Amino acid sequence: MTTTISPLIAGNWKMNVMRGALEELAALAGMLTSGEAPRAIVVICPPATILSEVAHQGATSGIQAGGQDCHTQAQGAHTGDISAGMLADAGAQYVIVGHSERRADHGETDAQVCAKAEAAIGAGLKPIICVGETEAQRDSGEAEAIVAAQLATSIPDAANQHEVIVAYEPIWAIGTGRTPTILEIARMHDSIREQLNARFAEKGPTIRILYGGSLKPQNAREILAVENVNGGLVGGASLLAKDFYTIISAV
């Protein structure tokens, strides 16, 4: 992990929980406040239905809230969508954009992801911009080139003046229990850092690069120790307080 960047651990609850999950949030808050203060910024991205409650309840223990997606427009006739401003109004400070599940299920392009990131910045949110390759792309040796192309067209120029986070999630590792080797993670994160440094000059070395994709208590310490891994985007393991706390504590 790059020591000059404060790490961030974000939990993506996806479409998995209802109000009962607030009990797990309370349990996590208790763990975070009863022992040594965590070295990482902790973010929970719940379904929009409980976002305001997560933001309110988490505030007392330093847990910040984020959305899982936002629309490119600030308002308008977009039934079923949610704007970045609405997320901010509900208490969010972050928002995930371009997750592979959004790209696959809704056909989101890099250009749309970039527009969503711009909308998030305009609403005062910090976008967590996701990139990653498929198994076929990895096997064919295209992984770094695919991710570099995604970075080039998914990150807005506004990242020069505003905080953005990059999350590298190899698609073939999300929710499968499989993870790249430590060497593969290190190579990809180094490649991403090189891309950020080349494009954003002095700002490049300060942009957080998170790792996601079957990040769990058993492998968190080893993965989070890798240079240029500045935290994690956690899926299933963030749903249980004890598992998520173990990952946070691994920083």
Asked if 162 is an active-site residue, the reply is no
Of 71, 133, 169, 189, catalytic: 169
Of 24, 99, 133, 144, catalytic: 99
DSSP string, the chain: --TTS--EEEEE-TT---TTHHHHHHHHHHHHHHSSPPSSEEEEE--GGGHHHHHHHHHTTTEEEEES---SSSSSS-TT---HHHHHHTT-SEEEES-HHHHHHH---HHHHHHHHHHHHHTT-EEEEEE---HHHHHTT-HHHHHHHHHHHHS-GGGGTS--EEEE--GGGTTTS----HHHHHHHHHHHHHHHHHHHGGGGGGSEEEEESS--TTTHHHHHTSTT--EEEESGGGSSHHHHHHHHHT-
Asked if 24 is an active-site residue, the reply is no
**Residues belonging to the active site:** 99, 169
